[in-house]
Amino acid sequence: MLLSLCLGVTSIGSFLLANDTVSNNSTPKNPIKVVILLGPPGSGKGTQAVRLTKELGIPHISTGDLFRENISQNTDLGKRAKAFMNEGKLVPDELVLDMLFDRVSRSDCAKGYLLDGFPRTLPQAGALNKHLAADTDLIVLNLDVPDSVIVKRAEGRLTCKVCGNVHNRYFSPPEKEGVCDACQGELIQRPDDRTEVVQERLRVYHEQTQPLVEYYKKKGVLKTVDGTKSPDDVFLSLKAGLKSS
């Protein structure tokens, strides 16, 4: 009697276990991967984002690029964002959040995406947190670059009007002055790369974006990398950061 009772309990146990396994198999956990690239303006986020997204096979979502696209297409959003951008100020959250969440809801972001230039404020980070599913595989890569290096880089930065390729008159000059090596398009200084604008963007960064370093450190998802090294070395450190997450 006691034996059959024990057997009964055991078989109920194995039934439950088997059923658990079945339900896990039928709804497999498949968390999406979200990588946030954090760092001051001009810290190399754009360059590294292109390499990382190739490596990871996920799209590169840059809120700065989304705004620039809107400006070049003369959309309402572009018209509203332009003045803030040209002065080195942040575009207000109500313009950023809808644009960003709309973009990451597209099918190419279903398995994950890399965010470059977002979030830039604690309220933006809070909104993203609410938007992400609890099991999201989130990693924040922080590029550490001092202000003096940023100012020098931005002063020399030349962006291609046509393809967006970036040269630097000090560190990676084009073969022919004023002409993009990649597509022969015209190289220009972005309005927000002018020295006074860069100083303002750095002030805004320290005031509004830097607190995110502590925010993500507390969440245990932050990896900080020395962003003053060569682009190749920075990329290797970022990849190592991704692996150790």
Determine the size of the site formed for ligand AMP (CB under 6 A).
Answer: 17
Alpha-carbon distances of 175 from 133, 152, 170, 193, rounded to whole Å: 47, 20, 13, 21
Nearest to ligand AMP of 95, 234 (CB atom): 95
- Options 9-17, 59-67, 159-167, 168-176: segment touching ligand AMP (CB under 6 A): 59-67
Closest by CA to 142, choosing from 213, 201, 209, is 213
Alpha-carbon distances of 162 from 21, 23, 149, 181, 228, rounded to whole Å: 54, 52, 27, 12, 28
Specify whether 190 is catalytic.
yes
Specify whether 45 is catalytic.
yes
| Range list of H helices, 27-62 | 45-56
Nearest to ligand AMP of 121, 237 (CB atom): 121
Specify whether 203 is catalytic.
no
- Options 34, 36, 91, 234; binder of ligand AMP; rule CB under 6 A: 91
Expressed in percent and rounded to 5, the helix, strand and coil fractions of the chain are: 55, 15, 30
- Options 34, 49, 52, 67; binder of ligand AMP; rule CB under 6 A: 67
> What stretch of H or E contains 74?
none
Nearest to ligand AMP of 77, 90 (CB atom): 90
Nearest approach in angstroms of CB 153 to ligand AMP is: 12
User: What is the Cα–Cα distance from 206 to 237, expressed in whole angstroms?
Assistant: 24
User: What is the Cα–Cα distance from 64 to 77, expressed in whole angstroms?
Assistant: 13
* Under rule CB under 6 A, residue 40 binds ligand AMP: no
* Under rule CB under 6 A, residue 64 binds ligand AMP: yes
Specify whether 89 is catalytic.
no
Give per-residue burial for 32-42: e unless 16+ CB within 10 Å, then b: bbbbbbbbbbb
* Under rule CB under 6 A, residue 201 binds ligand AMP: yes
> Using CB under 6 A, which residues numbered 117 to 146 contact ligand AMP?
117-118, 120, 124
Nearest to ligand AMP of 31, 190 (CB atom): 190
Specify whether 219 is catalytic.
no
Cβ partners under 8 Å of residue 70, min gap 6: 77, 78, 81, 99
Instruction: Quote the Cα angle for 78-47-233, to 5°.
Output: 160
Helices (H) then strands (E): counts for the chain? 10, 8
CB-based contact 190:157 (threshold 8 Å):
yes
Nearest to ligand AMP of 124, 142 (CB atom): 124
- Options 13-21, 88-96, 157-165, 166-174: segment touching ligand AMP (CB under 6 A): 88-96
- Options 51-59, 114-122, 134-142, 150-158: segment touching ligand AMP (CB under 6 A): 114-122
Per CB under 6 A, residues contacting ligand AMP are 41, 62-64, 67, 84-85, 89-91, 96, 117-118, 120, 124, 192, 201
What residues act catalytically? 45, 120, 157, 190, 201
